[in-house]
Amino acid sequence: MLEEVAKRLKEAKKAVALTGAGISKESGIPTFRGANGLWKKFKPEELATPWAFQRDPKLVWEWYLWRRSLVIDKEPNEGHFLLARLETMVPEFWVITQNIDGLHAQAGSKNIIELHGNIWRERCSSCGFKRVNRSDRMEELPPRCPECGALLRPDVVWFGEALSPDALDAAIHHSETCDVMLVIGTSAVVQPAASLPLMAKNAGVFVVEVNPERTPISDMCDVSLRMGAVEFAQALQRYL
């Protein structure tokens, strides 16, 4: 099966990888719901919402800085590097990710659609100012926009918020117009990302799932491999 996947990728004019928390977990990044100490008192749904930010922006920022502290020293793994390599091999290659950790960019991927935002990016709650800040500490909490003085917030998609229309439209377009889609480390239950492999399949795309566990899309994929991203990268390299 791996030989067939490699053959399809070599022949593809365009390929897409849809990635989820599983690929980052192999870099040591805990899942979204991991918590300890103070944060055991809170549910993510009580902190990652616009209403939580309105109620207590300092508390929300403290949680996000804690989350940054769990990610700041983590490095991309062989799964991330495989996708960066494929971008140099396939004429057009895109990574569509549900992750907010920025590891795909660190690995060298350039064509990245971040469906849920980026934990290292901050944006103004009023004027649209954005900046990247790779730090888990701040002098002022909550931080304020240097342009207009309004509160800055993490540039991530919270519960109760819609995905960026531009990001979602691009993800759908690339999913339906590629030759091969790799679905790596995603549970395939979080919408609307979970629908992308189905859209691809309906458009005649060759869909490959890489996940240690079965998911709701396993049966519809052309190839479904019970392995993690690192094992897949190591195994596929032999055929590329």
Q: Which residues are designated catalytic?
A: 116
User: DSSP secondary-structure letter at 144?
Assistant: B
User: DSSP secondary-structure letter at 185?
Assistant: S
Quick one: how many helices (H) and strands (E) in the chain? 10, 9
Closest CA to 183 of 159, 205, 156: 205
Alpha-carbon span 155 to 166, nearest angstrom: 15
Residue type for 82, please? L
Closest CA to 118 of 188, 52, 67: 67
Two structure tokens written together for 95: 């990574």
